A = this chain, B = another copy of it.
Amino acid sequence: MIKTIKHMALSAALSFPLTASAQHQDSLFIRKMYDQALTNGKSYEQLRYLTGRIGARLSGSPQAAAAVEWARQEMEQMGLDRVYLQEVMVPHWVRGDKEHAAIVNSSISPSREVNVLALGGSVATPANGLTAEVVEVKSLDELKKLGKRKVQGKIVFFNRGFDQTHIHTNRAYGGAVDQRASGPSEAARLGAVGVVVRSMASNTDDFPHTGGLRYAEDAPKIPAVAISTKGADLLSNLLREDAKLQFHMRLNPQWLPDVLSYNVIGELKGSEKPEEIIVVGGHLDSWDIGEGAHDDGTGCVQSMEVLRLLKAMGYKPKRTIRAVMFMNEENGLRGGTKYAQVAKQQGERHIAAIESDNGGFTPRGFGITAPNEPVFQKLFSWKQLLAPYGLHDIERGGGGADIGPLKDDRVALIGFRPDTQRYFDIHHTANDTFDKVNKRELELGGASMAALVYLLDKYGL
C-alpha cells in the first residue's frame, strides 16, 4: 500500500519526456489499436481452437506437439517476416490412470473419498497404494520442529491456506506455494512416506489444483498429491477428532524419456534497429487437466495478437518484435532457458521482454523489473498513455518465469498484470476452461500489451 502511494507521488513529480504533439499522436495510435482489438480481435477465436480442439497439453504430450504446429500455422498465416521453431528437449511426465485417495480407518467417520491430483513430477505409490497416519502442519518450519520422531512413517499434510487479506491473489499464492514446491522433499528428509498439500486456491470448492514439485537431490522421492480445499477442510476437521485416522493414496505417474519439442517464434523485423529485440510471450504448454485456458492459452493468443494488431495498423517497427510461445513453463522451464541461451550465443540484444502468464482477465497494468532507475522512469512516464485503459498499476517488480533467464544488465523484464481475483479459483485445475475467459477482457489484454510494445519500439529504452 505504501509502495503504491509512493509511486503516485513519483508520478506527480515527474516531468514527462514526451512532447505534447508526440503524446497526442501516440494516444491516437493506441486508441486505434484498442478499437481494432475490440471490434476485430482474433485472439478469442484462436483460444477457442487451442483449448477446445487441442486441449490440455503438458510438455511431451501429443497435444503439446499439436499446439506447436497450431501456433506455427497461425503465425505463418499472419504474414510475419519470419516464423520458426526453436528446438528444446522437454521432460515427459505422465499422470497415469490410477489416481485415488480416501480418508480411511477413522473412528468417527466411514471411509471418505477425496478429490486429489498428483503434483506434477510426483513419483508413484506402490501399486496397491499407500496408507498411513497423517500429521498436519501449516508450514515447513512447523514440520521441521516436529522432527523425525513425529513424522517418520507418516503422510505429511500441509494445510496452510491462502492469506485472503492480500488484495492481489498472486501474493497469496506466493505466500503458500513453498508447501507444494519444497514440502515433499522436506517431509521425506524426516522419514515421511507421502505428502498431501492443500490446493493453492483462492476459493473453497472440490477441485484440486496440481502444480510442480521440486524434489531435492539429497532426499528420498515420495509421492505427493494436492487435495481440494473442501477435502483439506474435511481432513483437518476429522483429524481434530481422531488423530489416528489414516489417509490412503494411490498414484501411478511415470517419468518417460525426454521429448524433442519447440518454442514457436514469430517475428517482425526492425527497419532501423533490427538488432534491438522486443519480446512478447506466453507459454504453450499447460498442465494435463482442464484446457490450459487462462494458464496460459490466453498469454499465447495475446502475444500473437500484438503482432497482428501492429500489422493491422500498418505499423513498421523500428526494432525487431518477436512473439514467443515458450514450451515447458509448467514443469521444467526448458523453453525459457533455451531461448535465453540461444539469444546469448547469438549475441542478441533484448531491450525488453513482456510476459503474459497471469490469466486473461481485465488488464490492470504492468510489473517492471528494470535494469536501472532511468529505464524504470521512462517506462513509468508512459503511464498517462495507458491509464485511460485501466492500466493504473505500473509498478516495480515483476516479469515472468519464461523471460526470467533473459535477465542481464540491459533488459527490462515486464509482467502483464490482469485482474487477479478469479485466477487462483481455477489455476491448474480441470476448471481452467475456455468458458472462464471473457472475450473483451482477453482482447483488452492483447491491446494493452500492443500499446506497450508500440511505445517500446518507438522510443526504445
Q: Is A73 an interface residue (CB 8 A)?
A: no
A387 touches B165 (CB 8 A): no
Complex: A444 Cα to B393 Cα, angstroms? 17
The complex places the Cα of A39 from the Cα of B204 at a distance, in Å, of 13
Q: Are B203 and A384 in contact (CB under 8 A)?
A: no
CB-CB contacts below 8 Å: A320-340 with B: none
Whether A362 is near chain B, meaning CB under 8 Å from some CB there, is yes
The CA of A35 and the CA of B1, in the complex, are separated in Å by 13
Stretch of A4-12, A49-57, A235-243, A266-274 at the chain-chain interface? A4-12
User: B34 and A440: CB pair below 8 A?
Assistant: no
> Assuming A8-B387, A11-B12, A203-B439, is B31 touching A164 (CB within 8 A)?
no
- Indicate whether A182 reaches chain B with its CB closer than 8 angstroms: no
B4 contacts A419, CB within 8 Å?
A: no
Tell me whether A392 and B392 are in contact (CB under 8 A): yes
B440 and A384 within 8 A (CB): no
Q: A8-B387, A31-B1, A388-B4 known; A362 and B421 CB under 8 Å?
A: yes
Question: How many Å from the CB of A158 to the closest CB on chain B?
Answer: 20
Per the bound structure, the CA–CA distance linking A135 and B5 in Å amounts to 56
- Residues of chain B within 8 A (CB-CB) of A206 are none
Consensus secondary structure, chain A interface: helix
Chain A 5-48 per-residue mask, 1 if CB under 8 angstroms from chain B, else 0: 10010011000000000000001000100110011000000000
Q: Please, which residues of chain B bring their CB within 8 A of the CB of A444?
A: 167, 421
Does chain B have a CB within 8 A of A173?
Answer: no
Question: How far, in Å, is A24 (CB) from chain B's closest CB?
Answer: 10
Number of copies of this chain in the oligomer? 2
Instruction: Check: A144 CB closer than 8 A to any chain B CB.
Output: no
How many residues of A are counted as interface, with CB atoms below 8 angstroms from the partner's CB atoms?
A: 36
Q: Does A138 reach chain B (CB closer than 8 Å)?
A: no
The answer to whether A421 and B441 touch across the interface, beta carbons within 8 angstroms, is yes
A425 within 8 A of B: yes
The answer, yes or no, to whether A438 is at the interface (CB within 8 Å) is yes
In A44-80, the 8 Å CB interface with B consists of none
Contact: B384 with A8, CB < 8 Å?
A: yes
A422 within 8 A of B: yes
Nearest B-chain residue to A393, judged by Cβ: B390
- Kindly report which residue of chain B lies nearest to residue A164, judged by CB atoms: B38
> Interface 1/0s, chain A 173-215, versus B by CB < 8 A?
0000000000000000000000000000011000000000000
Nearest-CB distance from A444 to chain B (Å)? 7
Interface hub of A1, A393, A440 (most chain B Cβ within 10 A): A440
Establish whether residues B35 and A165, one from each chain, have CB atoms under 8 Å apart when the complex forms: yes
CB pair A27–B1 under 8 Å, yes or no, is yes
Tell which of B165, B169, B202, B362 touches A419, judged by Cβ atoms closer than 8 Å: B362
A64 to B10, CA, bound (A): 51
Question: How many angstroms between the C-alpha atoms of A165 and B443 in the bound complex?
Answer: 11
Q: Are B439 and A165 in contact (CB under 8 A)?
A: no
Whether the Cβ atoms of A1 and B167 lie closer than 8 Å is no
Closest 3 CB pairs of A and B: A12-B12, A1-B388, A392-B392
12 extra A-B contacts, CB within 8 A, seeds A362-B421, A390-B393: A1-B27, A1-B31, A1-B388, A5-B388, A8-B387, A11-B12, A39-B165, A203-B439, A203-B440, A362-B362, A387-B392, A421-B438
